[in-house]
């Protein structure tokens, strides 16, 4: 079964600084990979997803993520963080075969300071 690890529980960055959130997965083949964002009191919103092809994926709100098969990673990046980006970020992995559900990481909470 697939699994996902988000090593950082909480990250604080200054507004305007760059951001990288880490995600490592475990799966026997190339999985489907997702990043979701959850603002306080809100449901999850999809930022981007990777299925195949170009390993650099562009998403909404200026986010991008890069799939690195050799490192089993799918890190999320943003060149310049805005205060409104403060939220909880979840990486999720899905299997390409079988009927197994998405598996979410435990999340990384992002705080943005002035």
Partner 1 sequence: EAGVAQSPRYKIIEKRQSVAFWCNPISGHATLYWYQQILGQGPKLLIQFQNNGVVDDSQLPKDRFSAERLKGVDSTLKIQPAKLEDSAVYLCASSLIAGAISETQYFGPGTRLLVL
Q: Is position 10 an interface residue for partner 1 (rule: CB under 8 A)? A: no
Size of residue set near partner 1 by CB under 8 A: 23
Phi first, then psi, for residue 84 (nearest 5°) are: -70, -10
- When asked if residue 75 is in the footprint of partner 1 (CB under 8 A), the reply is no
Structure tokens at 42: 């809100």
SS3 100: coil
**Residue 32 binding partner 1, by CB under 8 A:** yes
* Spatial distance between the Cα atoms of 22 and 98, rounded to a whole number of angstroms: 27
Nearest distance in Å: CB 66, partner 1:
19
Cα–Cα distance for residue pair 7/107, rounded to 1 Å: 9
Q: Which is nearer to partner 1, 22 or 49 (CB)?
A: 49
Residues in contact with partner 1 by CB under 8 A are 32, 36, 41-46, 49, 51, 90, 92, 94-95, 99-107
């Amino acid at each position: 079964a697939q699994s996902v690890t988000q090593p950082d529980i909480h990250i604080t960055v200054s507004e305007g600084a760059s951001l990288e959130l880490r995600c490592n997965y475990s799966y026997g083949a190339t999985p489907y990979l997702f990043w979701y964002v959850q603002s306080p009191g809100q449901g999850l919103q999809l930022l981007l997803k990777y299925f195949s092809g170009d390993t650099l994926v562009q998403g909404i709100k200026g986010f991008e993520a890069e799939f690195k098969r050799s490192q089993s990673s799918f890190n999320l990046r943003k060149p310049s963080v805005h205060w409104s980006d403060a939220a909880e970020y979840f990486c999720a992995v899905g299997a390409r075969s079988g009927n197994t559900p998405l598996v979410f990481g435990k999340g990384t909470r992002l705080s943005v300071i002035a």
